[in-house]
Amino acid sequence: MIKEKSLLMLPGPTPIPPQVAAAMTRPMINHRGEAFFTLFDEVSANLKYVFRTEQPVYVFPGAGSGGWEAALVNTLNFGDKVLSVTIGDFGDRWFKVAGALGFAVERMEFAAGLAADPAKIAERLAADTDKQIKAVLIQHNETSTGVTNDVQAIARVVREHGALIMVDSVSGMAALPLETDAWDLDVVLTGAQKALMCPPGLSLISFSERARALSQTNKMPRFFWDLKAVHSAYTKRQTPYTPAISLFYALQAALQMLREETLENTWARHRLMGEMCRAGVKAMGLELLAKDEARASNAVTAVMAPLEPKVLRKTARDRLGVQLAGGQGALESSIFRIGHLGYVTPNDVLQALAATETTLALHGKLDNVGAAVGAAQQVWVARLRG
């Protein structure tokens, strides 16, 4: 038999659609000329559509997590107090970045599997009567635990206090509902390699008018992530230094696909895949890491592993062609994760569930197979029937 095809079910990088791959083969252009202006205009308009904002969405060559630095250095000054809300590994990392950059960071942690409690955040902010806290950092979707925060509710309590609300939506953007303008979010950042269906290498970030105004007078030393420079270049349909042209073409093609699907349908597809995945996982007797299923992520499902996750993933990959993700940090030996975001469809979820179930059977953890896919199919059928 030929080798089984490979299916990438990671929470990023995610599979690249053929149109996106092909777009990267286009010949190089002058990034200071008309061909780039046209590309820039289309990408800019479609990013506003995806971010749900009227503000510019800046595209930096970089990694999604570079946006953590951009968010902070443009709006805050050395020693400013920041409340870092963390529900997992990526929250922890942003917390560390803020400390390394010279801010006074206070950590508010919720146990793995829980979402942040807006009431707890409100309580902490209410106690900050002299308004020392200048910004609140939060993940939209915590990739490491498969839990989605209630950004709308959190943004509301932060806005009441007056601090800036900064949202890492690296694995949330385009997969899960987010309303940058309607929820009045000050900074929203993401990467290209998740639900935006592109290869990694781009950092995308929006700022509210309030946040951008702060960048005008802000004294933090900065160059690469400087909002003033990128905003000034944007008014001339330019970037402050050479843009990643091939990745821009990839983004153009991916955003065209998203517009065609419509963002509402993209969200609905991810919701369906999340529901299918959770139904399948439970049908094979496994437990979700997410304590409250209402806050379980529709972009990635974290599952308590019934055998060593490395062994499980190796079997699924080498014998069944499906690449699952492991746990991060403290969860490395207790969970595995099924990514279902980006260029992924319900059939991919069925295949991932089948591979997981077959792996359990091969390792003697299950007697019968079929229940997982059946349960997921039922969810799909119900959706198709409307």
User: Would you tell me which residues interact with a copy of itself (CB under 8 A)?
Assistant: 6, 8, 10, 12-16, 21-22, 24-31, 33, 60-66, 68-69, 78, 97, 100-102, 191, 193, 199-201, 203, 221-226, 241-247, 250, 323, 325
Least distance to a copy of itself, CB of residue 57, Å: 18
Tell which residue, 181, 201, 170, 200, has the closest CA to residue 71: 170
- Of 60 and 380, nearer to a copy of itself (C-beta) is 60
Tell which residue, 208, 178, 298, 201, has the closest CA to residue 249: 201
Least distance to a copy of itself, CB of residue 199, Å: 4
Least distance to a copy of itself, CB of residue 22, Å: 7
| φ, ψ of residue 339 in degrees (nearest 5) | -80, 135
Least distance to a copy of itself, CB of residue 381, Å: 30
- Of 168 and 275, nearer to a copy of itself (C-beta) is 168
Least distance to a copy of itself, CB of residue 71, Å: 11
Q: Which residues contact 97 (CB under 8 A, 6 or more apart)?
A: 65, 68, 69, 72
- Of 141 and 193, nearer to a copy of itself (C-beta) is 193
- Of 69 and 357, nearer to a copy of itself (C-beta) is 69
Integer-rounded Cα radius of gyration of the chain? 21
Q: Is the dihedral of CA 368, 373, 378, 381 positive or negative?
A: negative
Q: Which residues contact 31 (CB under 8 A, 6 or more apart)?
A: 239, 242, 243, 245
- Of 123 and 241, nearer to a copy of itself (C-beta) is 241
Cα-based distances in Å from 196 to 14, 19, 266, 352, 366: 9, 13, 10, 21, 36
Amino acid at 210: R
Least distance to a copy of itself, CB of residue 39, Å: 13
- Of 40 and 183, nearer to a copy of itself (C-beta) is 40
The 10 Å Cβ neighbour count of residue 301 is 30
Q: Transcribe 17-73 into DSSP letters.
A: PHHHHHHTTSPP--TTSHHHHHHHHHHHHHHHHHHT-SS-EEEEES-TTHHHHHHHH
Least distance to a copy of itself, CB of residue 331, Å: 15
Least distance to a copy of itself, CB of residue 183, Å: 26
**H/E run at residue 187:** strand 187-191
- Of 177 and 201, nearer to a copy of itself (C-beta) is 201
Spatial distance between the Cα atoms of 282 and 93, rounded to a whole number of angstroms: 31
Spatial distance between the Cα atoms of 177 and 19, rounded to a whole number of angstroms: 25
- Of 152 and 323, nearer to a copy of itself (C-beta) is 323
